[in-house]
């Protein structure tokens, strides 16, 4: 890879990456920033090795369609360790939305998605069930021997296990574009050849009526609703670009309009636990605050 281009991509990635993934006190932020910078610099320009042997599924059945994805000019590679896959670990709705967006854009002919899932052979049926549940019909790679991770030794943090690659599988950028709109904007600038840094978004400040909500003991397989109230305490409109939940059993809804200074908005959360036992789930609101995101938590105990 051209060294100058590599440095440009690092310059783009750093502010976006750290505002996207870390929200904490300043001391912890400095530690995370140092660790993240080391990982990003190590992986930018590195070539990802793809395994020769894997299963490919499309519409929940074996297929050879995955081969066509390897010829794309750009590839978005996701690695997910789905060993012991459970409902709250596997959720493809955000990826489904992103891929549909790409399929309806000028990027369709340029970009392919290489979605690698580590899955033991006795878990393939379970994985197919989750794909079907989320109505996810894009081809996926099932790596039962975890070969791709053995070849590349991906970082252990899932936040660093998604990459934008060129046609030679060299890493151009790091981050999950399905969960974070800012990462997808970065990917699009690289794909389109735009070498200009992104315009700085005007930030604001937000106060939440609570950062954590405890449902207490609730019945499984039954929907339970609650709301978080966010007040825009800054001087610029609050723009919530995306809200994601760490669990497929958690649904979220929010206002898509800009929230003027001084006004409030609500994030509605519907929890439907499918297994008994305690749970703790994270709701992440990507918005124009200093850190780039706001993390909220719901927890409780599912009962039959």
Delimiting residues of CATH 3.40.30.10 domain(s) in the chain:
3-192
Q: Evaluate if residue 167 carries a pLDDT over 70.
A: yes
Q: How far apart are CA 63 and CA 45, in angstroms?
A: 31
Angle at 183 between CA 189 and CA 244, to 5 degrees: 145
Q: How confident is the model at residue 26 (pLDDT cuts 50, 70, 90)?
A: very low
Say what the pLDDT of residue 124 is: 74
Reply yes or no on domain 3-192 having CATH 3.40.30.10: yes
Say what the pLDDT of residue 182 is: 80
Of 96, 101, 78, 56, nearest to 248 by C-alpha is 96
Say what the pLDDT of residue 165 is: 95
Tokens representing 179 are 């969960």
Q: How confident is the model at residue 180 (pLDDT cuts 50, 70, 90)?
A: confident
The total number of residues written for the chain in this structure: 304
Q: Evaluate if residue 217 carries a pLDDT over 50.
A: yes
Residue with tokens 């609570």: 210
Domain covering 206-303 in this structure, CATH number: 2.60.40.10
Q: How confident is the model at residue 138 (pLDDT cuts 50, 70, 90)?
A: confident
Delimiting residues of CATH 2.60.40.10 domain(s) in the chain:
206-303
Residue with tokens 């490919």: 56
Say what the pLDDT of residue 154 is: 92
Q: How many CA atoms lie within 13 A of 159 on its CB side?
A: 13
Q: Evaluate if residue 175 carries a pLDDT over 90.
A: no
Q: Which of 100-104, 195-199, 208-212, 244-248 has the lowest mean pLDDT?
A: 195-199
| Summary mean pLDDT of the chain | 81
Say what the pLDDT of residue 25 is: 36
């Amino acid at each position: 890879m051209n060294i100058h281009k590599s440095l440009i991509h690092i310059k783009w990635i750093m502010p976006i990456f750290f505002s996207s993934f870390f929200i904490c006190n300043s001391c912890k932020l400095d530690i995370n920033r140092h660790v993240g910078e080391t990982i990003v610099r190590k992986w930018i320009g590195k070539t990802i090795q793809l395994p020769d042997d894997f299963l490919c599924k499309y519409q929940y059945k074996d297929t050879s369609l995955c081969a066509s994805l390897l010829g794309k000019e750009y590839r978005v590679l996701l690695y997910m360790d789905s060993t012991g896959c459970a409902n709250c670990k596997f959720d493809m709705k955000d990826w489904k939305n992103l891929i549909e967006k790409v399929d309806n854009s000028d990027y369709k002919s340029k970009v392919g998605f290489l979605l690698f899932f580590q899955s033991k052979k006795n878990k393939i049926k379970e994985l197919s069930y989750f794909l079907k549940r989320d109505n996810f019909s894009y081809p996926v790679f099932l790596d039962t021997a975890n070969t791709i991770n053995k070849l590349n030794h991906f970082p252990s943090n899932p936040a660093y296990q998604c990459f934008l690659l060129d046609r030679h599988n060299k890493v151009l950028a790091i981050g999950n574009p399905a969960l974070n709109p800012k990462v997808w904007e970065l990917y699009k600038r690289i794909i389109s050849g735009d070498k200009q840094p992104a315009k700085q978004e005007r930030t604001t400040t937000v106060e939440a009526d609570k950062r954590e909500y405890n449902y207490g003991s609730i019945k499984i397989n039954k929907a339970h609703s609650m709301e978080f109230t966010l007040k825009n305490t800054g001087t610029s409109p609050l723009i919530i670009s995306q809200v994601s939940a760490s669990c497929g059993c958690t649904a979220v809804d929010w206002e898509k309009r800009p929230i003027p200074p001084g006004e409030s908005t609500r994030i509605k959360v519907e929890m439907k636990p499918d297994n008994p036992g305690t749970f703790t789930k994270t709701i992440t609101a990507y918005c124009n605050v200093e850190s780039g995101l706001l993390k909220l938590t719901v927890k409780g105990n599912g009962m039959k």
